[in-house]
Amino acid sequence: MRIGIVNDVRAASEALRRVVDSLPDHQVAWTAADGVEAVALAKRDRPDLILMDLVMPHLDGVQATAQIMAVAPCAILVVTATVSGNISLVYEAMGHGALDAVDTPILGAAGEVSGATALAEKIGTIAKIVGATAEPRRATRPASSTPPRLLVVGASTGGPKALSDLLVPLPRDWNVATLVVQHVDVAFAQGLAKWLGERTGRAVRVAAHGQQPQAGEVLLAGTNDHLVMTTSRTLEYRAEPRDVFFRPSVDVFFESIAEHWPQPGVALLLTGMGKDGGRGLLKLRGRGWHTVAQDEASSVVWSMPKAGIDAGAACEVLPVDQMARVVSARLGG
């Protein structure tokens, strides 16, 4: 994996370089001394991952993250002197698309690096998310002519447990990609993915900007922007529409799937407050998708599923513990 380093402190940059150099299959792509230089370098030579400092002259890490995600989107890990001391800036950077945050390792007088383990673990996790290797960069691969079958899920209040109950009984080895939009603040998205992974025994990851769904994956929307499917069948985070209260929006996500995914799959609208998802579920049903809304008895809050039912968007209304059977029957496995 090719990694860009952004830090205005020379000792910190050197500590980061030494950590990257110590990791197999990873290499430093370039080093920038501030946000302005980082944006320019990312546009010219987009790496697989950027280690982004927060407090820098000219352009700080928050704004640099926002600009990079707009012009040359890639995985960004916030690396700052103290995550807890800069927590508001960390949350802002994550709101613009940064995936996670970690304290900057410290380069000692004798050349040793302390705090390297935490950074190395974060890099390893992100490498799995983006599916990057140390192979030379090639042009972006076109979308496969045979995309996987798709299961899409929207949820809000009570969603984490419902998602866990849904995922556990699903087949382990099947040609289905699962995409989830759960109303959760960006600060908790990584934690939710980890929790779901531990509860279900599956590899649940936060979706990366530009990622293409693959069979067997469970991808979770991970920022406060909307997760959408593009015409090239890749996932992107977009700030628009800004006037939508729920971020990420299930409606925006479902509607983009209806527009751009080439074959019908299964869509589930689970427990949640508000009416998000009903309109999008109806659009999916109109495109031939099998749509299911959670029933009132098994919902923590029945507002979202009810909105879909009232709109005529649900082919079936089921308790969450019966959904895996329907999904498996419809998608195979």
Q: What is the CATH number of the domain that holds 257?
A: 3.40.50.180
Please report the pLDDT score of residue 252 as a whole number: 97
- Per-residue pLDDT band for 134 (boundaries 50, 70, 90) equals very low
- 162-200 pLDDT, tens digit per residue, is 999 999 999 988 889 999 999 887 777 888 888 898 888
Domain interval for residue 249: 149-331
Q: Are both 79 and 224 inside the same structural domain? A: no
Residue 136 falls inside a structural domain: no
Residue 193 sits in the same domain as residue 292:
yes
Strands (E), 192-249: 204-206, 218-220, 226-229, 235-238
263 and 182 in a common domain: yes
130, 163, 192 - which closes a domain: 130
Q: Are residues 112 and 18 in the same domain?
A: yes
Residue 288: both structure tokens together: 């031939």
In this structure, is residue 103 part of a structural domain?
yes
For residue 135, the model assigns a pLDDT of 38
Residue-wise pLDDT tens digits, 278-308: 999 999 999 999 999 999 999 988 999 999 9
* Per-chain mean pLDDT for the chain: 89
Classified as helix, coil or strand, 186 is helix
- As for how many domains the chain has, the answer is 2
* pLDDT confidence tier of residue 137, bands split at 50, 70 and 90: very low
Kindly state whether residues 185 and 261 are assigned to the same domain: yes
Task: Provide the CATH number for the domain around residue 74.
Answer: 3.40.50.2300
Answer yes or no: do 92 and 199 share one domain. Answer: no
- How many CB atoms within 10 Å of residue 57? 10
Asked if 212 and 277 sit in the same domain, the reply is yes
Residues 98 and 40 in one domain: yes
With tokens 């939508």, the residue in question is 244
- Find tokens 């983006």 and name the residue: 130
Is residue 23 located within the same domain as residue 164?
Answer: no
What pTM was estimated for this model as a whole?
0.59
Active site residues: 156, 183, 276
Contact 50, 74 (CB under 8 A): yes
